[in-house]
Amino acid sequence: MSVTDELLANAERYAAGFDQGGLALPPARRLAVVACMDARLNPYKILGLREGDAHIIRNAGGVITADERRSLAISQRLLGTREIILIHHTDCGMLTFTDDEFKADIQCDTGLRPDWAAEAFPDLEEDVLQSIGRILADPFIPHKHSVRGFVYEIETGRLREVKR
Amino acid sequence: MSVTDELLANAERYAAGFDQGGLALPPARRLAVVACMDARLNPYKILGLREGDAHIIRNAGGVITADERRSLAISQRLLGTREIILIHHTDCGMLTFTDDEFKADIQCDTGLRPDWAAEAFPDLEEDVLQSIGRILADPFIPHKHSVRGFVYEIETGRLREVKR
């Protein structure tokens, strides 16, 4: 049995006890969170978010690329969110390699070099600031009065703000 | 007080009760989930996932663009995941507009036309299959034996598989 099959049994149990119907499409807290995909980082629990509260956008590193800017533009322009929280974290996989190495390995394996940046970074705090900066520089995200960035400490559960 | 400030108080409570230290960086279930950012869709609860289990990748629509292919390549090649679960959902914001309309509105507002596709879609099931297809066609994601796509029903809590 695959992991997917196991989890589908969980999904049936979830549906059987479901009582969250009737929530509105626009997020109640008017918030979008951009976080790393890391398995140990659960934005619902860390921030105390409930179903219906916030858009959750996640990728490798919690970085800001064109797709996050697309998602944030849709989130703010069509669905009314106003604040943005960015979350990177300690012990992140993105600290363990460089773009050049990773892309050379892939080229060696497949014969092709990826046409995207891997977005690895050597410094966590600097990359949080880089991500904030990319949002502030984006012409299509209208609401920028509250764009705040954090490092989540995998070891302690603490969320620590990063400021210039 | 901003919503962000309120949630930071939650984060302090989370840290005070934190007992998840010592989890490994590679996801224990060797799974990556790609889901819509929608506020009402909580992949942890739906799939019964716990901290440490799976990478969670999310964006507007749960679609597959270059950034999701980047995240999946990192997830599989550097962090050992093997299965992929895609989740779209009913009552999705992406069903309510077209790329052309949205980008024309933005151009009207800012004077600039976004250089990205908005990735709106008129048919939920077709877009799940489109997303699966983009993963299967990607040369940099190595493990494709279990790439399965689902529609989550916001109204009932049910997860329904989409197959060609």
Of B23, B54, B60, the CB nearest to A70: B60
> In chain A, where does DSSP find H-type helix?
3-16, 43-47, 66-79, 99-110, 124-137
Report how far residue B149's alpha carbon sits from residue B161's, in angstroms, rounded to the nearest whole number: 6
Query: Of the candidates B14, B52, B115, which has its C-beta nearest A40's C-beta?
Result: B52
Nearest CA in chain A to B63: A67
User: Is A138 annotated as contributing to ligand binding?
Assistant: no
Q: Which of B27, B40, B159 sits opposite A11 (nearest CB)?
A: B159
Q: Is pLDDT above 90 for A21? A: no
In this predicted structure, the answer to whether residue A164 has a pLDDT above a threshold of 90 is no
CB contact under 8 A, B77 and A102: yes
- Residue A76 makes CB contacts below 8 A (sequence gap 6+) with A32, A82, A141, A142, A143
Contact B93 A78 (CB under 8 A): yes
What is the β-pairing status of strands B159-162 and B147-152? antiparallel
Q: Nearest chain B Cα to A28, which residue?
A: B39
CB–CB contact B71 A37 (8 Å): yes
DSSP, res A94: G
Q: Which residue in B14, B30, B71, B23 sits closest to A154, CA to CA? A: B23
Mean residue pLDDT of chain B comes to 97
Three-point CA angle B13, A87, B64, nearest 5°: 130
Each residue's pLDDT tens digit, A90-113: 999 999 999 999 999 999 999 999
Measured CA to CA, the distance from residue A18 to residue A50 in angstroms comes to 14
State whether A71 and B37 contact (CB < 8 Å). yes
Contact A13 B48 (CB under 8 A): yes
Share of chain B above pLDDT 70, in %: 100
pLDDT at residue A1 greater than cutoff 90? no
Q: With a cut of 90, say whether residue A142 has pLDDT above it.
A: yes
HSE, side-chain direction, 13 A CA sphere, residue B74: 31
Report how far residue B52's alpha carbon sits from residue B46's, in angstroms, rounded to the nearest whole number: 16
Residue B128, min C-alpha distance to chain A (Å): 16
B53 labelled binding-site residue: no
Task: Confirm whether residue A55 is marked as ligand binding.
Answer: no
Mutate to test the interface with B, among A140, A144, A161 (most CBs of B within 10 A): A140
Interface predicted TM-score (ipTM) of this complex, two decimals: 0.98
Dist. CA B140–CA B70, nearest whole Å: 8
Using CA atoms, how far apart are residues B49 and B52, in angstroms rounded to an integer?
A: 8
DSSP states along A46-59? HHT--TTSEEEEEE
Rg over alpha carbons for chain A, rounded to the nearest Å, is: 18
Q: Residue range B140-155: average pLDDT?
A: 98
B7 to chain A: closest CA residue: A47
Homologous superfamily (CATH) for A26-162 = Carbonic anhydrase (3.40.1050.10)
A159/B11 Cβ within 8 A? yes
Predicted pLDDT at A159 = 98
pLDDT value at B20 more than 90:
no
> Residue B147 is inside which H or E element, if any?
strand B147-152
**Which residues on adjacent β-strands are paired with residue A162?**
A149
Token pair 């990607």 in the structure block, residue: B138
What is the pairing mode between strands A54-59 and A31-36? Answer: parallel
Contacts of A56 in chain B (CB under 8 A): 37, 39, 58
What does DSSP say about strands A147-152 and A159-162: parallel, antiparallel, or unpaired? antiparallel
Domain ranges of chain B: 27-162
Domain B27-162 has CATH 3.20.190.10: no
pLDDT for B17 beyond 90: yes
Q: Amino acid letter at B120? A: A
